[in-house]
Amino acid sequence: EMAQKGGYSHFMLKEIHEQPEAVKNTLSEVSDIENIVSQFPQFKRITFVACGTSHHASLVGKYLFEALLGLPTDVVLASEFEFSEGAIDPDSLVIFISQSGETADTLKALKIANKKAKTLAIVNVLGSTATREADYVIFTRAGPEIGVAATKTYISQLTCIYLLAACMGKNRELLDELQQIPDYMKTVLLLEEDIKEMAAKYKDAQDFFFIGRGFSYPTAMEGALKLKEITYIHGEGYAAGELKHGPLALIDDDVPVVAVVPPGKSHDRTLSNVEEVKARGARVIGLGSEDDQVLSYEASDMIKFPSQIRELISPLLYVVPLQLLSYHMSVQRGIDPDKPKNLAKCVTVE
Ligand code: AGP
């Protein structure tokens, strides 16, 4: 097992560090994706269906498809699909996202959707059930993922979604920009030592909030899921603007807030929420551009990203330190992050 871990103490850590490679390999799928897109009829709407981390990739898909393609896009949890299938019609493309391609909830929804619309599965495991049942299939090239927590497969799913949007929108500029992601990701991974120290500072908190708006909202959700899954600490991912509609009552100096604040449209609004939670005593871990002096000033701890990373592509990079933060807190709390209790890598029950 030590050999399989390639010198890393856990599969999860190895898989986090494999992410630049996973993006690169998935980017090489572009000609397959172009080919699939050339077979598409004129779709009028898109629905994404998935569970867990794959659901968070779907949420990014919604913001991206709406921003770039102007197509109405829904996101439905696979376990809710049978109660919410009404909006699907023959002009819809229903996109299923699944690492394993075997998740029971997702397969059940795929069966229902196949009767009503065209289906596309974005899957990491070759030959899995979802790849046999969907009309179109795109493979994420993350390689096998052993850790129960999805890391590199999430990044590969996002890469596929960005490629798909770029191909459907004939957006050369985005395709070029995506080529730079592996290098940016290597830069972000260099933050690991700082994040390890941060983990030690925050690991005894009992509740966390993760906040973001727009493209950063799914990143906040995913950060909170990783936290719950491998550290057993309660974490809530929230659209930053919703705090004032209830959860602000929970904020005090015992509840750290992780704020995802890349440069762009959502920046100033989320920053005002950072001020709001600070006024209630919360310590804030800010994720933002290296030249964001206001955020640096407001945050107790700051995770800095290259300033070229704009909001639209930020989900591919801003989630990486959150994976590392949960990983190190998990290890520091004496938990095995590869095998969290009560969870399975592939959930084959409904
Ligand atoms: C993520 O860390 C989890 N292991 C879980 O939420 C997972 O993403 C979910 O069960 C969906 O699995 P799938 O992608 O294989 O369908």
**E-strand stretches of the chain:** 45-50, 73-77, 92-98, 118-123, 136-139, 207-212, 234-239, 257-261, 284-289, 301-305
Residue 158, classed as helix, strand or coil, is: helix
Q: Which of 196, 201, 278, 345 is catalytic?
A: 345
| Cβ of 99 below 6 Å from ligand 1 | yes
Angle formed at CA 179 by CA 174 and CA 180, multiple of 5 degrees? 100
State which of 48, 55, 103, 108 you would mutate to test the pocket of ligand 1, scoring each by most atoms of that ligand within 8 A of its C-beta.
Answer: 103
| CA distance linking residue 96 with residue 160, whole number of Å | 12
| Cβ of 57 below 6 Å from ligand 1 | no
| CA distance linking residue 336 with residue 328, whole number of Å | 11
| CA distance linking residue 330 with residue 226, whole number of Å | 10
Tokens of 246: 């209830």
| CA distance linking residue 203 with residue 233, whole number of Å | 9
pLDDT at residue 1, as a whole number: 75
| Cβ of 156 below 6 Å from ligand 1 | no
Residue whose CA lies nearest to ligand 1 atom number 16: 98
Residue 130, classed as helix, strand or coil, is: helix
| CA distance linking residue 264 with residue 270, whole number of Å | 11
Find, among 227, 297, 211, the residue nearest to 262 by Cα. 211
Q: What is the pLDDT along the chain (350 residues), one digit of tens a residue?
A: 777 898 999 999 999 999 999 999 999 999 999 999 999 999 999 999 999 999 999 999 999 999 999 999 999 999 999 998 777 889 999 999 999 999 999 999 999 999 999 999 999 999 999 999 999 999 999 999 999 999 999 999 999 999 999 999 999 999 999 999 999 999 999 999 999 999 999 999 999 999 999 999 999 999 999 999 999 999 999 999 999 999 999 999 999 999 999 999 999 999 999 999 999 999 999 999 999 999 999 999 999 999 999 999 999 999 999 999 999 999 999 999 999 989 888 888 88
State which of 59, 79, 99, 350 you would mutate to test the pocket of ligand 1, scoring each by most atoms of that ligand within 8 A of its C-beta.
Answer: 99
b/e 194-206 (16+ beta carbons within 10 angstroms → b): ebbebbeebbebe
Please report where in the chains the tokens 């009028």 appear, as a residue.
44
Tell which atom from ligand 1 comes closest to the C-alpha of 103. Answer: 16
Residue whose CA lies nearest to ligand 1 atom number 4: 149
Find, among 77, 23, 15, the residue nearest to 315 by Cα. 23
42 C-alpha vs ligand 1 centroid, how far in Å? Answer: 31
| Cβ of 295 below 6 Å from ligand 1 | no
Q: How many residues are there in the chain? A: 350
The alpha carbon of 150 is separated from its chain's Cα centroid by a whole number of angstroms, namely: 9
| CA distance linking residue 156 with residue 141, whole number of Å | 7
| CA distance linking residue 254 with residue 260, whole number of Å | 19
DSSP calls for 2-64:
TTTTTT-SSHHHHHHHTHHHHHHHHHTTHHHHHHHHHH----SEEEEEE-HHHHHHHHHHHHH
| Cβ of 231 below 6 Å from ligand 1 | no
349 C-alpha vs ligand 1 centroid, how far in Å? Answer: 13
58 C-alpha vs ligand 1 centroid, how far in Å? Answer: 12
| Cβ of 103 below 6 Å from ligand 1 | yes
| CA distance linking residue 141 with residue 160, whole number of Å | 9
Pseudo-torsion of CA 15, 191, 62, 246, nearest 10°? 110
262 C-alpha vs ligand 1 centroid, how far in Å? Answer: 26
Q: 103 with 78: CB under 8 angstroms?
A: yes
**Taking the complete model, does pTM exceed 0.95, yes or no?**
yes
Residues in contact with 73: Cβ distance below 8 Å, sequence separation at least 6, in sequence order: 45, 46, 47, 48, 61, 62, 65, 66
Helices 52-69 and 152-168, axial angle in degrees (round to 10): 20
Distances (CA, A) of 71 to 67, 112, 137, 165: 8, 22, 21, 11
Residue 321: other Cβ atoms inside 10 A: 25
Tokens of 185: 């990701």
| Cβ of 122 below 6 Å from ligand 1 | no
Residues in contact with 80: Cβ distance below 8 Å, sequence separation at least 6, in sequence order: none
| Cβ of 106 below 6 Å from ligand 1 | yes
Tell which atom from ligand 1 comes closest to the C-alpha of 50. Answer: 16
To the query of whether residue 345 is one of the catalytic residues in this protein, the response is yes
